[in-house]
Amino acid sequence: LSVAQITRVLAHSAHLKRVSYPLLRPTSTPNSPPSPSSLPPQTLSHKTIALLFSKRSTRTRVSAETSAALLGGNAMFLGKEDIQLGVNESARDTVQVLGGMCQGIFARVGEHSEIEELVKYSPIPVINALSSYWHPTQILADMLTLHEHSNLFAPTPPSSSSSNSESELPPLRPLTIAYVGDSTNVLHDMLVTYPRFGHSVRVATPRADAYQCPAPVWDRVQELGCDKKIWWGPDPREAVHGADVVVTDTWISMGQEAEKAQRLKDFQGYQVTEALCKEGGANPDWKFLHCLPRKQDEVDDEVFYGPRSLAFPEAENRKWTIMALFDLMFGQWKI
Ligand code: CP
Ligand code: NVA
């Protein structure tokens, strides 16, 4: 998505969140039921979205199912044990069939080439719900969360706003965003997104021979000119220097379970802690993001459950951003 499209999705997410809350948390607004004009749009009415998931999911799946329902439609979960795909039937034939019965595909796959295969043959729009290289819907939730908490990153010079001041999206000043850990799908979407919004990204990963950015991902980073705002090295302390936000992800992504012992060894010293960020010279008010699911290996309890952590608002925002994407892409067909 372009900067303009991402901005539109985020503004629409904030809007859908505002209009949906009174329906879902009625006790928080006892005297002001939503007016009919402020209800969520029913753009998925009569429509079914196929959730083609070959890997586990809590947030992405629940976001998809609950937001499709709010938009008046149906999301149908198709796990790898449920359908013929990969056992008795090809991706090409599967998406042809889904295209005749459903109006959108939200797909979580293993190798990124698998989603490219779906896109190549699908007659209906496909959204990536996670692949080996990318996790694009995660960065939308992260950005919405940062905008919503922009007051924590004061001062906010009015001229630095990257959003439309009339939208429901609070403006955000340019931030320094550090990532400590593995070069995962989540980091890759940070790399191709944050620099385009004026934010700097500082990354620390261990072992130059093992945990670096895959070449096709780095090619895309360079193609977008994002590399100019990225610092990358092996030292986590150096990475968090000046950071307003510190981010990490699991050291063992889904499918890498056999490498667990080696990875735990290689990532020693990369756990996000108060001490690490203090020694590295992070902004004293730094905040923490994590896509979840989380292990103590990559971030200790003090940070994860402490006041710096925005991980749970971030998790909830998966829903509002996915709802906006479903509305725009599968409902309105105009993003
Ligand atoms: N962050 C995220 O994608 O979580 P799930 O794997 O639970 O969907
Ligand atoms: N990098 C993780 C993200 C999980 C949401 C994985 O791919 O398993």
User: Atom 3, ligand 2: which residue's CA is nearest?
Assistant: 253
Q: What span, in angstroms and rounded, lies between the C-alpha atoms of 199 and 249?
A: 19
State both tokens at 58.
């809590």
CA of 150 to the centre of ligand 1 (A): 24
Q: Spell out the domains of the chain, with CATH numbers in brackets.
A: 3-134+318-331 (3.40.50.1370), 150-309 (3.40.50.1370)
3-state helix vs strand vs coil in the chain, percent to 5? 45, 15, 40
Euclidean distance between CA atoms 147 and 145, whole angstroms: 5
- In this structure, the residues whose C-beta lies within 6 A of any atom of ligand 1 are 57-60, 130, 138, 291-293
Q: Which two tokens stand for residue 86?
A: 């990969």
Q: How far is the CA of 33 from the centre of ligand 1 (A)?
A: 32
136 is written with which tokens? 């694009």
Which pLDDT tens digits describe the chain residue by residue (335 residues)? 999 999 999 999 999 999 999 998 776 555 666 666 678 999 999 999 999 999 999 999 999 999 999 999 999 999 999 999 999 999 999 999 999 999 999 999 999 999 999 999 999 999 999 999 999 999 999 999 999 999 999 765 555 444 444 578 999 999 999 999 999 999 999 999 999 999 999 999 999 889 999 999 999 999 999 999 999 999 999 999 999 999 999 999 999 999 999 999 999 999 999 999 999 999 999 999 999 999 999 999 999 999 999 999 999 999 999 999 999 999 998 88
